[in-house]
Amino acid sequence: MSQGAANVAAYVAAQREQAPALPAFGTPSLDASRAQALESLCQLGLPSQRDEDWKYTSTRAITRAAFTPAVAGAPCPGEFVSQTTIDGLDAWRLVFADGFWQPELSLLDDLPKGVQISGLGQSLGSEPQRIAALLGSALGQTPHGFIAMNSAFIGDGALIEIAPDTRVDKPIELLFISGCSGEGFLSLPRNLVVMGAGSQATVIERHVSLADERLLSNSVSELILADNASLNYQGVQQVAPRGFHVGGMFARLGRSARLQATTVTMSGALVRNDALVNLDDEGGFASLDGLYLAFGRSHVDNHTHITHNAPHCVSREHYKGVLGDRGHAVFHGRIVVQPGAQKTDSVQNNQNLLLSADAEIDTKPQLEIYADDVKCAHGATVGQLDETAVFYLMSRGIDRQAARRMLTQAFAADVLNRIELPALRSYLEAQAVQRLSPEQVRESES
């Protein structure tokens, strides 16, 4: 075991204890991949700021005391679920308590032909070989210890399979509730979305906290898009001020497949989102949009990594952040154009609005281009509210605070306006308005 292992000993021990009870234990390929992930976890340890990809994000608040991996059976109050529901959203819904599927709180009636939605654990029980073979296929290499930890504990989460040429006409919402087991627990959901050739779907992955406690959710979602498949993937993190969330979205796109992903981070003590996309065949399109709000002492880190493995693919990234108080955010956008990926068209854009002198942003675009006929552009801005615009609004009778709020909301709305689902869009707009309340946009005394 290497030096990193010290901060994972408790998790390794917990995995060894829990492993025989994990779904489909005894399936050779799955046993092997869990064991391999555990080995990776031992070797990698949990990341620290010595790792280049975690340079600006300290995990000390997470590693200072180990979390206990939750087990199935924690009760999830149905009342909380109904309070958390998005108004007007007509969706199939899967609810998870600390990562475990709650069929009785889920809405899966009348699923159309060609649409399979279920708990991953249940499916692993019934079709262990087939599902085990799919798991990990969008992952590629393991970028850091949290991902390895998730893979070592693969047990429950959401499984969505859409048959070829099937259009799912309602969104599918995955609602992850942390804190059902109490303070100090860790949830490790693993999701798998398999889009058949020419299929279309919208998936919402929401992470919320039951209470403001020291909690960790470490979630991994694998998205596999066959040729011509089209997936809208909307990630939302509404983590409690003391809660931690580390999430990974790993996507693999076939020929002419389309992925439109949005990641909206409303709150949380530390939220780290990894988004890794592989454009594996010609004509693929991936767009990653993000909005992050970091107030109080919140830390939000978005780490994107798009690899163009084939010619004629398009990627777009548009991330915006609003930071106030002592909020800290990181945007690291890596784009790799592999040899032979000619005619790549890639644009990356990161804009940040700093509302206080103590807020901090680290933004790092990183382009690695190994092909010679490509179009790649990137840009990052960090700024404050435009005083000319503030005065313009004041000259129309709007007071300074209201003007600042109006401009801040407009800045954030730009990303939310790209969300196609009206109910989700208005819900997130309302949430953002609440977050960007007068206290949040007030000017810090200088």
Partner 1 sequence: MLKISKLTVTVDGKTILNGLDLEVGPGEVHAIMGPNGSGKSTLANVIAGREGYQVTGGSVSFLGQDLLSLAPEKRAREGVFLAFQYPVEIPGVANVYLLKEAVNATRQHRGEEKLDAMDFLKLVREKLKLLQMKEEFLYRSVNEGFSGGEKKRNEIFQMAMLEPRLAVLDETDSGLDIDALKVVAGGVNALRSPDRSVILVTHYQRLLDYIVPDRVHVLAGGRIVRSGDKRLALELEAQGYGWVESDPSAVSAA
Which residues contact partner 1 by CB under 8 A?
Answer: 386-389, 391-400, 402-403, 406-407, 409-411, 413-414
Nearer to partner 1, 149 or 353 (CB): 353
Taking the complex as a whole, the smallest distance from the CB of residue 164 to partner 1 amounts, in Å, to 40
Nearer to partner 1, 80 or 411 (CB): 411
Nearer to partner 1, 188 or 354 (CB): 354
Per-position DSSP letters for 324-352, written without gaps between them: -TT-EEEEEEEEEE-TT-TT-EEEEEEEE
Taking the complex as a whole, the smallest distance from the CB of residue 426 to partner 1 amounts, in Å, to 15
Nearer to partner 1, 64 or 396 (CB): 396
Q: How many CB atoms lie within 10 A of CB 438?
A: 10
The amino acid that residue 179 corresponds to is G
Taking the complex as a whole, the smallest distance from the CB of residue 300 to partner 1 amounts, in Å, to 21
Nearer to partner 1, 82 or 388 (CB): 388
Nearer to partner 1, 167 or 400 (CB): 400
The amino acid that residue 344 corresponds to is T
> Using an 8 Å Cβ cutoff, are 288 and 261 in contact?
yes
CA dist 298 and 330 (Å) reads 11
> Using an 8 Å Cβ cutoff, are 428 and 236 in contact?
yes
Pair of tokens at residue 229: 């498949």
Taking the complex as a whole, the smallest distance from the CB of residue 289 to partner 1 amounts, in Å, to 15
Nearer to partner 1, 32 or 410 (CB): 410
Taking the complex as a whole, the smallest distance from the CB of residue 403 to partner 1 amounts, in Å, to 8
Nearer to partner 1, 252 or 405 (CB): 405
Beta-carbon contacts of 86 under 8 Å, excluding residues fewer than 6 positions away, are: 173, 423, 424, 427
Taking the complex as a whole, the smallest distance from the CB of residue 385 to partner 1 amounts, in Å, to 11
| Residue spans of beta strands (DSSP E) within 63-179 | 68-69, 92-97, 100-101, 115-119, 158-162, 172-178
Taking the complex as a whole, the smallest distance from the CB of residue 400 to partner 1 amounts, in Å, to 7
Residue with tokens 């959401």: 158
Taking the complex as a whole, the smallest distance from the CB of residue 413 to partner 1 amounts, in Å, to 5
Beta-carbon contacts of 434 under 8 Å, excluding residues fewer than 6 positions away, are: none
Distance of CA 246 to the CA centre of its chain: 8
Q: Tell me the three state secondary structure of residue 356.
A: coil
Q: How many CB atoms lie within 10 A of CB 417?
A: 11
Contacts 24+ apart (CB under 8 A), 439-445: 440/295, 440/324, 440/325, 440/355, 441/324, 441/355, 441/401, 441/404, 441/405, 441/408, 442/401, 442/404, 443/355, 443/356, 443/404, 444/325, 444/355, 444/356, 444/357, 444/358
Nearer to partner 1, 133 or 402 (CB): 402
CA dist 307 and 313 (Å) reads 10
Nearer to partner 1, 368 or 414 (CB): 414
Nearer to partner 1, 351 or 363 (CB): 351
Q: Which of 75, 77, 79, 135 is nearest to 100 (CA)?
A: 75
For 147-186, what is the HEC assignment?
HHHHHHCCCCCEEEEECCCCECCCCEEEEEEECCCCCCEE
Taking the complex as a whole, the smallest distance from the CB of residue 388 to partner 1 amounts, in Å, to 5
Taking the complex as a whole, the smallest distance from the CB of residue 391 to partner 1 amounts, in Å, to 6
Start-to-end C-alpha separation, the chain: 50
Taking the complex as a whole, the smallest distance from the CB of residue 354 to partner 1 amounts, in Å, to 17
